[in-house]
Amino acid sequence: MTPRARGWLAIAAIVVAGLVLSFVVQERYHHRVLTLVFLWAAMGLAWNIISGYAGQISFGHQVFFGIGAYVTVLLVVKTGLTPWIGMAVAVGVAILAAVLIGLPTFRLAGIYFGLATLAYPLIFRIVMDWLGYQEVAIPMKRDHPGWFMQFTEPRSFDLLALGVLAATLVLSRVIETSRLGYRLRAVKENEQAAEAMGVDAFRAKMTAYVLSAAPAAVVGAVYIHAILFIVTPEAVFGLLVISQTLVVSLVGGIGTLWGPLIGAAVMVPVSEVLDTTVGDRLPGIQGVVYGAALMLIMLYAPEGLFWRIQQTIRSRAGRRAAAVRPAITAPADELMASAPAGNVLLEVRDVSKAFIGLQALSEVSFDVHEREILGVIGPNGAGKTTLFNVLNGFLVPERGAVRFCGETVTGLRPNVLCQRGLGRTFQVPRTFPRLTVLENVMVGALVRAGLADARGVARDALTRVGMLDRADGLPGGLTTLELRLMELARCLATSPKLVLLDEPLAGLSTDGVDVMIAMIRRVRAGGITVVIIEHTMQALLRLADRLVVLDQGRRLAEGAPNDVTRNPAVIEAYLGKRWLARAGAPTC
């Protein structure tokens, strides 16, 4: 059986198990617990879409829960609309709210995002109070209880909640196995690397947010009808809702659909049992248990139960694989007789960029021709990486222009530039640590390929750099050379016209340097233009057709390696004035 089929089968098994439970269970109270488990698992799964898959921890997700509850109940009260349709309206409102909240909020990163999300449910609480909806009870409809979601048979609520859970599980599974799922994981692991590999991080996050708002609204609507019967701002927008969501998700583990499921199955019965046994004497016991659970899980297994187990298994498998794999050797050289004098692919014109008090680049201009290997060299602090950050869109220059394939691309986002054929690697390799090597490369492949093809493209790219036997390991177990080769493969998987390689030789052994140089020559032989940053002249002399020398943000020299190394200004910048006198003297 394929892993794909196994995943769906597991979901089916969960639903069947839920059905069996709801028919086995007899007592009213046990039905209530079952309903709660299903609903909180679904709420955890909804939260998990934005905070687990996309890694944007939201402390205000009860906004959508509350919207679901209020919209459905107010529609019944004011217009007599059945909650079955009201729920659909509520989902629409929640999606609209998600867009309105997400648009400004996703411009914030890290802790600012989390703090901002805190404010939205508080605002809703205040507004609901002010509108006079401090307490809205569901009106009794004795004539058509089913039509108004007012079942007398507690099993009906079990089944309804199970239906919501099943739908959310399917949604989660679809996301996990889709292009979006891979993109979200990449954004979560390293947003900048994801952007450089063609992922539109903002769009991916917005999509995830909308998809996580919808089931939260449905859960809110069902919760009101099954459990609360009366909506109050505190009950649906309050801290306890998000706490419970966080507890079920974090205890189980986030970023997987199993986490919230495990968390809800463990935590909800515990807190319900405590509430009924000692809740009368100790009214805050549920809160204490949730708080203690959050603290314990953060102290002892911050990844959650599911990941703890999986990681142990994976790292064991990784160690076994490491023992048998052969070293990577340099492939046969595919030298070209001479650099082809192709058309100009990339034009850099008078680019200037300043940081506070530092002119990192001033009026830098040069051209890159098709199928050449251009070396950019310069001492530390010369502005080399800043140049790359401008070229691939991380930074916008104050002045000057960059043209790629004849079009001005200054100010375009990195993901757009990647889609147009500009790839890059980083000085310190930026991996997606929790994705396998193959999945890392797949993120790059997804720029042009659908999910089905991406796997093949990624395998090809790994084969090209001699890394296919490492495909299933995690990047954490790779050597520096392997990391750099994986980054190169990820970059090649985007089918670039031009690659920017930021110090690909740094930290490599002599053998490693040989491998890397041969790989880069191969890349070029495959028709891809290469721009390399290095600060060691030696290596670039072997590799580059032409050199551009930067010093203190200015272009110092440009030309064939041999001419550049004889240039007095370059010698002075590299070695100081005293060397100039010696260099001038006839050698040998």
Partner 1 sequence: MAQVAELLQYVATGLLVGGVYALMSIGLALIFGVMRVVNFAQGDFMMLGMYLTYFYALSGIDPLLGAVLTIPPFFVLGWVVHRGLLARVTGGGDPQRQMDAQLILTLGLSLVITNAATMILTPTPRGIRTAYATQAFAAGPILLNQARSYAFVMALILAAAVYVFLTRTDAGRALRAAADDPEAASYQGIDVRAMHGLAFGTGIALVAAAGGLLATYYPIEPSVAGNFIVLMFVAVVLGGLGSIPGAFVGGLVIGLVQSLTLLVLPFQLQNTGVFIVFLLVLYLRPQGLFGRRARAV
Phi, psi (5° rounding) for residue 321?
-65, -35
Q: Toward partner 1, which CB reaches closer, 114 or 559?
A: 114
Told to check if 202 binds partner 1 by CB under 8 A, we report no
Told to check if 284 binds partner 1 by CB under 8 A, we report yes
Determine whether 333 is exposed, middle or buried from the number of CB atoms within 10 Å of its CB (0-12, 13-18, 19+).
Answer: exposed
Distance CA 536, CA 259 (A): 48
Q: Toward partner 1, which CB reaches closer, 305 or 467?
A: 305
Told to check if 139 binds partner 1 by CB under 8 A, we report no
Distances (CA, A) of 214 to 42, 128, 444, 491: 11, 21, 29, 35
Place of tokens 């995690």: 474
- We find the least distance from the C-beta atom of residue 508 to partner 1, in angstroms, to be 24
Told to check if 270 binds partner 1 by CB under 8 A, we report no
Joined together, the tokens standing for residue 333 give 């050289």
HEC-encoded secondary structure of 68-122: HHHHHHHHHHHHCCCHHHHHHHHHHHHHHHHHHHHHHHCCCCHHHHHHHHHHHHH
Told to check if 108 binds partner 1 by CB under 8 A, we report yes
As a whole number of angstroms, the longest Cα–Cα distance in the chain is: 107
- Please give the size of the binding site for partner 1, defined by CB under 8 A: 42
Residues 38 to 67: which contact partner 1 by CB under 8 A?
57
Among 298, 309, 358, 428, indicate the residue that binds partner 1 (CB under 8 A): 298
Residues 153 to 192: which contact partner 1 by CB under 8 A?
192
Q: Toward partner 1, which CB reaches closer, 399 or 448?
A: 399
User: Are the C-beta atoms of residues 193 and 186 closer than 8 Å to each other?
Assistant: yes
Among 116, 138, 161, 218, indicate the residue that binds partner 1 (CB under 8 A): 116
Joined together, the tokens standing for residue 111 give 């802790």
Q: Give which of 197, 171, 151, 260 is closest to 425, Cα–Cα.
A: 197
Told to check if 239 binds partner 1 by CB under 8 A, we report yes
Distance CA 408, CA 376 (A): 21
Joined together, the tokens standing for residue 563 give 């001419």
- We find the least distance from the C-beta atom of residue 266 to partner 1, in angstroms, to be 16
Binding mask 526-555 for partner 1 (x = CB under 8 A): ------------------------------
Told to check if 302 binds partner 1 by CB under 8 A, we report yes
Which window, 28-36, 104-112, 358-366, 370-378, contacts partner 1 (CB under 8 A)? 104-112
Question: In whole angstroms, how large is the CA radius of gyration of the chain?
Answer: 29
How many other C-beta atoms are found inside a 10 Å radius of the C-beta of residue 202? 17
Q: What do you get for the CA distance between the two ends of the chain, in Å? A: 71
Among 294, 451, 468, 506, indicate the residue that binds partner 1 (CB under 8 A): 294
- We find the least distance from the C-beta atom of residue 289 to partner 1, in angstroms, to be 9
Among 1, 24, 299, 588, indicate the residue that binds partner 1 (CB under 8 A): 299
Q: Toward partner 1, which CB reaches closer, 239 or 266?
A: 239
**Rounded to the nearest 5 degrees, what angle is found at the Cα of 141, between the Cα atoms of 140 and 143?**
150
Site for partner 1, rule CB under 8 A: 57, 104, 107-108, 110-112, 114-116, 118-119, 122-123, 126-127, 129-130, 192, 239, 243, 246, 250, 282-288, 290-295, 298-299, 302, 389, 394-395
